[in-house]
A and B are shown apart, each in its own frame.
Chain A
Amino acid sequence: MQKVYIYKQFERFWHWTQAILILFLAMTGFEVHDSIHLFGYENAVVYHRIAAWMLLGLIVFSVFWHITTGEWRQYIPSFSKLSAQIHYYTFGMFKGEPHPTHKTARNKLNPLQAVTYLGFKLVMAPLIVVTGMVYMFYRTIDANDMVVVSEIPLEWIAWLHTFGAYLLLMFVIIHVYMTTTGSTPLTNIKAMLTGYEELEDTEASHSVIKKEDPHEA
C-alpha cells in the first residue's frame, strides 16, 4: 500500500464547491417550489439565482480543466468490468470479496462510477442547467417590450427542472453513501479532502508516489 496523490487541487476545489452549491440550490429551489420554508420566498428566489450563476461559472472552469488536463478520459466508460462491479456491490462485498477493479491515479473511477458520472455530466447536469437557464430568462414581455422566451410553456420548463432536481438529489444520496464503500468507510472522503489515498501498489501509480503531480507545478 502506498500513499498516492490522486485528486488534484482544482479537482477538490471544484468537487466541494459544486457539492455546496448543489445542496444550496436544492434548499432554495425547493423553497421556490413551496416544498420547504427556510429563507422566505423572495430571498430563496434571489439566492437561487446567485448560486445558479456561481454554479454556471464553476461549470465553465471545470469543463476547461477537464479538457486541458485530459481528465475527461476518466469518464470514458468501460463495459468489460461493469457487470463485475455491479456484482461486487450487490453480492461480492457482503461476502468480503475484493474490489474487482483497482483504483489508480490514471484510472481513478471504477466502471460503474465512470458510467454514472458520465450520465451525470451528459444527462442530469445539462437537463437542470438548460431548463434552469430557460427558466431564468423566461419572459413573456419584459420591461423593455422584448420577448425573450415565450413560446415554450413555462410549465414544461418548470416540470423538467423539478424532475432534474429530484434526479440530482437521488444522485447525491447514493453518491454520498457509496463513498463509504472504500477500504474503510471514511477512506474516500478523506481522499477527496486531502487529495491522497492509500492505494495498492500497482505499476501505474509508481510515478506519483508521495510526490505532487509534476503537471501541477
Chain B
Amino acid sequence: MKKVILPVALMIVLLIMAVHLFHRPELPNLNHLQLQQQFSVKPVASVDHTQFEQLQKDFATPQDVTEACIDCHNERHKEVMASSHWNWERISYVEGRGIERMGKQNVINNFCIGTSSNQQSCSKCHIGFGMSNDLFDFNNARNVDCMVCHDHSEAYIKGTSAAGYPDRSVNLSQVAQSVGRPGNINCGACHFSGGGGNNVKHGDLEMALLEADRSVDVHMAANGINMTCVDCHEAENHKMKGTLYSVSSTHVSRLSCDDCHSSTPHNDRMLDVHTGKVACQTCHIPEYAKVNATKMAWRWSEAGHLKDGEPYAIMDSMGREVYLSIKGSFEWATNVEPEYVWFNGHATHYVLGDEVDTIPLQVNRLLGSATDRESKIYPVKVHRGDQIYDPNTKMLIQPKLWSDAKGDSAFWQDLDWHEAATAGMQEVGLPYSGEYAFIPTEMYWPVNHMVSTKDESLSCADCHTRDNGRLAGLNDFYLPGRDRHAGIDILGKLMIFGALLGVVIHAMARFIMAIRHKEIESQDINY
C-alpha cells in the first residue's frame, strides 16, 4: 500500500506545485483600462467664438480672419510659422547627407512627383494663402491659414488651384466663429486625399475613418473609443507629434504606440518580449485600405496617349480611374497585406539633383537591419511605379505638370514631356539634357493607422510558419518555426528513420532466428 501511496502523493504535490507556478489567471490590463477612461472624456471648448465681437463681421479676405485670430492669440502665429505644416520642410541631420533642409520643395514622391513649378495647385494643402510659385513669403503672418485646421463649421474648403486660398463660396464670418480644436475632417481634408483622391497615397488614412467601426480602426471607431487625430497627434504649441517617412528623415517628434501603451502592453511575457524587435503595427495592422482602395502603382510612362486626338480616362468596374492620359496608368487594391521591413526611425530620400544609383530607384529608403539594435520590423505600403528621368544626367526630372492654360509647357495641358521637363528643371535650377526616359521607382509608406481589434490581429503562426508566412521576405535573421538548418533536419530524419529501420531489422532477425531455434529444438526432441 505504502508503495502506491507515496508516489501518488508525490505526484499530486508536484502537480499542485506546477499548477500554482504556471497558472496565470487573466489579469485586468490596468494600463488599457486607464487609457479607455482617459479618452472616454472628450474635451469641451473653454470659449465660444461666436460671442467674440471681433469675429462678428464680414471679412473681405481670409487674411483679415488671420489678423482677427492674431489679435487675441498674439503669439500663436509664430508657433505655426515654425512648423513643417507651414514651412513644408524640416532641417534635420540625414544619414549620408549631413544637415539638410528637406521637404516638399525638394523631395520627390511617387505620385504627382513634386510641388516645384506646380505650387498653384499643390498649395491647396498648404496652411497658407497665396503660395502660387516659389516666391512665397514664409515670414508673412497674415498668410497663415488658421481656418483650415480649426474650422468646425465644415463649410471651409480650399479652392482648386487657388494657391491655398479658400473657395469663393466660403462664408468667412461663419467659419471664423466656429473655430475650435481640430477635428478629423480638418486633418483629413489634406491627409486623406493626398495624391489626388481619397486614400490614394497612404492606404491607411481615408474618409472611412470619419465613420469607422472597430473592425476598421479600434481607436477612431465611432462605436468604440471614438478618438480624434489630435488625441494622439498632440500639438502642444502647434508642434505636431508624429512623422511620416515619405518626407521626414529622422525620428524627431516621432509618435509611437508606446507613448500611451508602453512597451509591455500585453499582460503576457512572451508577447511583450516581441516589442523589442517587432513594432506594434506589424501584428495589429494585418491589412490596410480596409474600406476604400489605395493606389499601389502609378506608371507615368504610359501617360500621353490620345483617343481620337483627345485625352481620355478608363475606369474599372468599381468606378476607379485606371488610366488617365494626363497621369498614366494606375493599380488599386483593397484589404492589402503590408510588406515588412526593418526600420530604425531614420530614412533617406531622393532629393532633386541626386544621381540615380539604383534601378528601381527608391525615392525614400527606410533604414535598418536585423542586427541594428534600434530597428524593428514594420509594416509598409510599397508604392511602385515609374517616373521621368534624364538618362544623360542620371537625374529624375521634375516636370511642370500644372498650368491653368495650354501653351505654358504644363504636361497636364499640352501632354508634351519634353516641354514639361524643360520648364520644370529650369524652375528648380537643374540641367536637362533634352533627352528623357522612364525608370521604375518605389516609395515606402510605413502603415500606422487602421489598427485592428485584438481578435483580428496577427497570431503567432502568421509569421512562425515554414512557408508563405508574413515575414517570408525578411530573411536576415533566424525566425523560429520558419527557419531551420536543412542539413541538421535531414541528418535528424536519417537518424530517426535509421534507428527505426535498424530496430525493425533487428527484431525481424530475432524473430526468424527464434523460430529456427524452435524448429531445431523440436527436431532434437523428435529424434
Contacts and interface: CB of A to CB of B under 8 A. Distances in A.
B21 A53 contact: yes
Interface residues of B, number: 50
A180 B493 CA distance: 24
B88 to A, nearest CB: 36
Interface in B464-514: 464-466, 477-478, 480-485, 488-489, 491-493, 495-496, 498-500, 502-503, 506-507, 509-510, 513
B483 A155 contact: yes
Contact of A170 (B481, B484, B499): B499
Contacts of A170: 495-496, 498-499
Contact of A50 (B22, B480, B509): B22
B373 interface: yes
A162 B488 contact: yes
A166 B495 contact: yes
B481 A166 contact: no
Interface string A71-98: 0000000000000000001000111100
A141 B373 contact: yes
Interface stretch (A39-47, A104-112, A113-121, A200-208): A39-47
A1 to B, nearest CB: 21
Interface stretch (B271-279, B286-294, B431-439): B271-279
Contacts of B507: 177, 180
A190 interface: no
Contact of B503 (A42, A153, A169, A173): A173
Contacts of A96: 513, 517
A45 B499 contact: no
B189 to A, nearest CB: 39
B276 A173 contact: no
Contact of B464 (A34, A54, A177): A34
Contact of A9 (B7, B492, B495, B506): B7
A173 B7 contact: no
Interface of B: prevailing SS: helix
A86 to B, nearest CB: 13
A40 B513 contact: no
A139 B21 contact: no
Nearest to A45: B270
Nearest to A138: B273
A13 interface: yes
A170 B493 CA distance: 9
A94 B459 contact: no
Given A140-B373, A177-B507, A165 B492 contact: yes
Given A143-B275, A170-B496, A155 B503 contact: no
Given A34-B465, A140-B373, A162-B492, 20 more contacts: A9-B3, A13-B10, A33-B484, A34-B464, A45-B270, A93-B510, A139-B273, A139-B276, A143-B264, A143-B273, A155-B483, A159-B488, A166-B488, A169-B495, A170-B495, A170-B499, A173-B503, A174-B499, A174-B503, A180-B507
23 contacts: A13-B10, A13-B11, A32-B480, A33-B481, A33-B484, A34-B465, A34-B481, A42-B460, A45-B270, A46-B270, A53-B22, A93-B510, A94-B510, A140-B276, A153-B478, A159-B488, A163-B488, A165-B492, A166-B493, A166-B495, A170-B498, A174-B502, A174-B503
Q: Which 9 interchain pairs have the tightest Cβ spacing?
A: A166-B492, A155-B478, A94-B513, A41-B460, A177-B503, A41-B461, A173-B499, A143-B264, A34-B481
Interface of B: 3, 6-7, 10-11, 14, 18, 21-22, 263-264, 270, 272-273, 275-277, 373, 459-461, 464-466, 477-478, 480-485, 488-489, 491-493, 495-496, 498-500, 502-503, 506-507, 509-510, 513, 517
